[in-house]
Every structure is written in C-alpha cells, then in structure tokens.
Amino acid sequence: MTDRMKTGRRGEALARTYLLDKGYLVEAVNYRYRRTEIDIVAKHGDVLVFVEVKTRTSLAFGHPSIFFKREQQRRISRAASMYMEETGYDWEIRFDLIAIYLKSPEAYQLDHYEDVFFPGLH
C-alpha cells in the first residue's frame, strides 16, 4: 500500500469515528459505482448523507477542501443515485465534505462541511 493510500485510509477512519461520535449511522464505506467511489454513506436522522473525505499531510498546495472539484461531484452524484436505487431510498439526501489535515502522526485538524453541493446546480 502506498503512502498516499495509507493517508487516505487513515483520514477515512478518522472521519468515520467523527461521524459516529456525532450520532451518524454509517451504512456503507467505499461504495463503488463504475470508477467512482463514495467514501462514506451515513444516515443522520432522516437524511442520507454522502461524504467525501479529503486528507492531506501538508498544506503546501492548499487546504484539503479545495481538492473537491465539480467533475468529482458529478461522478459522486451519479454514484449516489445508483446507491439510492439499489437500496430503495427516496427521501432527503445531502452531500458533505470532511477535510482532514494530518499535522503529525498524533495530531490532525478535521473540518466538516455540510451540504457542500446539490446535484444539477453547477
């Protein structure tokens, strides 16, 4: 496993723990549709939340949140539609971003952005 993959896995684990601590129910991790992956699918109350996790070990190129581009949002939107079709879910949804900066092996900064985009409004 590459260092980049290890960083991503660590960030996803931190994000899952954060969400669970906030009362979310994690339904799926690394859900794949074609070549797109949704890092975390969780329920928060009656809302189904699709979460993208961006993790970085340096801020040299900017905060992790700036790496969530529109094309990726479109792909995640399509994958979310397939997830909803597969599970029969047809109620409220939301797309969130969790940006994690790993300052050191022990220290990190986690920022949770709710409702970062709505499909079709680009």
| Rg from Cα positions in the chain | 14
Domains, in order of start, for the chain: 3-113 (3.40.1350.10)
What's residue 33's pLDDT?
A: 95
Residues sharing a CB contact under 8 Å with residue 34, sequence separation 6 or more, in sequence order: 79
Q: Band of the pLDDT at 115, cuts 50, 70, 90? A: very high
Q: Could you read off the pLDDT of 65-82 as tens digits, one per residue? A: 777 878 888 999 999 999
Count of alpha carbons within 13 Å of 77, Cβ hemisphere only? 15
- Could you tell me the CA-to-CA distances from 48 to 10, 14, 51, 65, 112 in Å, in that order? 23, 20, 10, 21, 16
pTM given for the model = 0.91
| Closest listed residue to residue 15, CA positions, set 59, 49, 58, 63 | 49
